[in-house]
Structure 1
Amino acid sequence: MQIKKMLQAGVFAVAMATAIPATQAASYPDRPIRLLVGYAPGGPVDTTARVFAKYLGDKLGQTVVVENRAGASGMIASDATAKATPDGYLLGFAASPTLTISPLVQKSDLFDPRKDFTPIGMVVDYTNVLLVGPQIPVNSVKELVDYAKTHPDAVTFGSAGVGASNHLSAELMKQQADAPMLHVPYRGNSPAMMDVVSGKVTFMFDITSTAIPFIKSGKARALAVTSRERNRELPDVPTMIEAGVPDYEVVGWYALMAPPKLPDAIKQRLSQALKAVSNDPAFQKAMLEGGYTVNDGDSKAVSARIAREYAMWEKVIKSANVQIQ
């Protein structure tokens, strides 16, 4: 009789343990949601996250508050997301380099991007563009590669720093083209761009949204975009593949991430809201004006992209012997 009572108590306890999350999920969200951003206010990740947060909040019927936790190339915020309570009230707005490059370059064991999150879905893609200064005597990627091969000590490329996505984008081109090119790291994109414009460095990769003003003003020349398709804002600029670098595709992205073990009901609610944001014409217009393309990929698409790009950058980093300084 005592054993029967213990079994009944155990069943009741299990039922209560599962009923509580179910109740919480049914009322989710009933208070503001925090959206962690791993970069300082005012940058492209932060400004995009703030626009996204407004639309996500509208779809959920609840306020979504952006919280900046800058540091370690976004990994501090992502680590906080990975270790948060999985109740849907703390989410991460993750930039692709934080999940596919930074853990490799910094040799971090804070989190494994391939298994320590519950991906909700993609938000946007963004394209990089290969830029040279007006003084550089090349007009195509092929001419740049040929120039590097015939002038092995003359071609340099700038970046936002060792291990930055635009550094590795150039290393990937260097490896695929088998051409000598010297990396010149800077403390951020802006000083690197200034030296491209002045001709102190030969070229650099930059995101389309910040590169376009330099291209339109004639201060820099675009040789190629890194996406598989041409960019709508630069329709006359070929892709790297069209320019003669086979299989070269580097597309950055932002995704909505949650802690591991997020209840399915909450994940489904967030996925539905994210889909509604992606389909909102006003959001699409805002992203296009910012140089982005809305991507409505689901959680499986995020996981697949992380796995594929993590493996790709791991090979590039090892081959180039990239080490954080």
Structure 2
Amino acid sequence: MIQRRSILGAAALMPFATTPLGALAQAPAWPAQPVRMVVPFAAGGPTDVPARLLCDRLSEALPQRVIVENRTGSGVVIGTDLVSKAPKDGHTLLYTTVAHSVLRALFPTLPFDPAADFAPVAFVGKVPMLLLLNKDIPANTLPELIALLRANPGKYDYASSGNGGAVHLATELFLSMAGGLQVGHIPYRGSSAAMPDVLSGRVAMIIDVGFAGLEYTRRGELKAIAVSSQARMPQAPDLPTFIEGGVAGYESYTWHMVMAPAGTPAPVLTAVNAAVNRALAQDALVQRLVEQGMDVVRDSTPDSAATFLRSETEKWSAIVRARNIRVN
């Protein structure tokens, strides 16, 4: 077992068979000690669970363990700050979401720079979201809901998992792209805290991560009328997209990405990326992530992850400004 794990660990430094031997000799060894994967979200939540599934696979394949460390507080600021100031050697990594892309827009003063102080390493996947309605709301399709909200400005409220979070951003994007609909916002401490009020009818609707929302719709407790992905979800093939419902170009996800402190040597970033991609090539792991509603990305690179992060930062920062979103 020790021999096999050592071989797999060395393979993390060789994502391509054509890597020159001289370059490998210059590359820092990774991992040389246990790796901390900092998750700036609570344990057991929709970000923590996929992070632990990934880290379990990495621990099996690498010569060192990859340990999840939940560091919450001030949204995602405390955990993210910890990684920004960690040694630049790949042994402290950040597992984060779309929340990272709006940090600068939401917090004018931060102890770190969300762009300059981080190096994207690997894109894990995207989780689409569902537009869920209380079952007594008189709308069964997205066009019907838009017409209802347009005819009754300010009458209805929507729930979110908190100010500036993925649920809040996705809903404000929808309201903006649907013609500036006027719907009240009630933030909660997480989607699970919001659901009782959506179920009871105190709040009319929520746009929540797909895997959680599907359970309510399957039991007939809520109505799902649209999915936020570009194409329909395999888990709910009869559910139309926002685009099919008439909101052209609408697309939103809560996505998952691994990052390292900026300045981490490129060979280490390549090694971490290769290890993540190898883990995501395993059908057993992919199946578990699909069960969480994720559209898994198996072949990202540090460059492709950085490009995606830049596009998401531009998109969501514009929404924060246009809709005057505040965290307090």
Counterpart AA for 1:320: R
1:199 aligns with 2:201: yes
1:41 partner SS: coil
Superposed CA deviations along residues 165-203 of structure 1, whole A, max 9, x for unmatched, are 211211111111122211122222123221111111111
Equivalent residue, structure 2, for 1:159: 160
> Cα gap change, 1:248/1:40 in structure 2, threshold over 3 Å: closer, same or farther?
same
1:309 aligns with 2:312: yes
Q: Distance in 2 between matches of 1:75 and 1:209?
A: 26
1:65 partner SS: strand
Q: Which runs of 5+ in 1 are unaligned?
A: 1-20
Q: Number of residues paired by the alignment? A: 304
Counterpart AA for 2:228: T
1:250 aligns with 2:235: no
Q: Distance in 2 between matches of 1:268 and 1:190?
A: 37
Further displaced range: 26-35 or 236-245: 26-35
Equivalent residue, structure 2, for 1:15: none
In 1, are the aligned partners of 2:103 and 2:114 still within 8 Å (CA)? Answer: no
Superposed CA deviations along residues 54-108 of structure 1, whole A, max 9, x for unmatched, are 11222323211111111122221222212211111111111221x1123322334
1:227 aligns with 2:229: yes
Q: Distance in 2 between matches of 1:119 and 1:162?
A: 25
Equivalent residue, structure 2, for 1:168: 169
2:47 partner SS: helix
Moved over 3 A (4+): 21-27
Equivalent residue, structure 2, for 1:295: 297
Q: Percent identity?
A: 31
Equivalent residue, structure 2, for 1:13: none
> Cα gap change, 1:26/1:169 in structure 2, threshold over 3 Å: closer, same or farther?
closer
Q: Counterparts in 2 of 1:20-169, with a 5 A limit?
A: 25-97=27-99, 99-169=100-170
In 1, are the aligned partners of 2:133 and 2:224 still within 8 Å (CA)? Answer: yes
Superposed CA deviations along residues 243-283 of structure 1, whole A, max 9, x for unmatched, are 11011010221111111111122122112111101111111
> Cα gap change, 1:143/1:275 in structure 2, threshold over 3 Å: closer, same or farther?
same
Equivalent residue, structure 2, for 1:209: 211
CA-CA distance at 1:24 after TM superposition: 8.4
TM-score by length of 2: 0.88
Counterpart AA for 1:74: V
Counterpart AA for 1:111: F
CA-CA distance at 1:155 after TM superposition: 2.2
Q: Distance in 2 between matches of 1:284 and 1:188?
A: 26
In 2, are the aligned partners of 1:32 and 1:65 still within 8 Å (CA)? Answer: yes
1:249 partner SS: coil
1:288 partner SS: helix
1:128 partner SS: strand
CA-CA distance at 1:239 after TM superposition: 0.8
1:161 partner SS: coil
Superposed CA deviations along residues 106-131 of structure 1, whole A, max 9, x for unmatched, are 33433333232121111121111100
In 1, are the aligned partners of 2:127 and 2:254 still within 8 Å (CA)? Answer: yes
> Cα gap change, 1:120/1:212 in structure 2, threshold over 3 Å: closer, same or farther?
same
Q: Distance in 2 between matches of 1:149 and 1:40?
A: 37
Q: Distance in 2 between matches of 1:33 and 1:192?
A: 35
1:322 aligns with 2:325: yes
In 2, are the aligned partners of 1:124 and 1:292 still within 8 Å (CA)? Answer: yes
Q: Distance in 2 between matches of 1:284 and 1:40?
A: 22
Q: Distance in 1 between matches of 2:67 and 2:254?
A: 24
> Cα gap change, 1:176/1:37 in structure 2, threshold over 3 Å: closer, same or farther?
same
> Cα gap change, 1:26/1:316 in structure 2, threshold over 3 Å: closer, same or farther?
closer
CA-CA distance at 1:290 after TM superposition: 1.9
Q: Distance in 2 between matches of 1:119 and 1:191?
A: 31
Counterpart AA for 2:78: I
CA-CA distance at 1:308 after TM superposition: 1.2
In 1, are the aligned partners of 2:35 and 2:67 still within 8 Å (CA)? Answer: yes
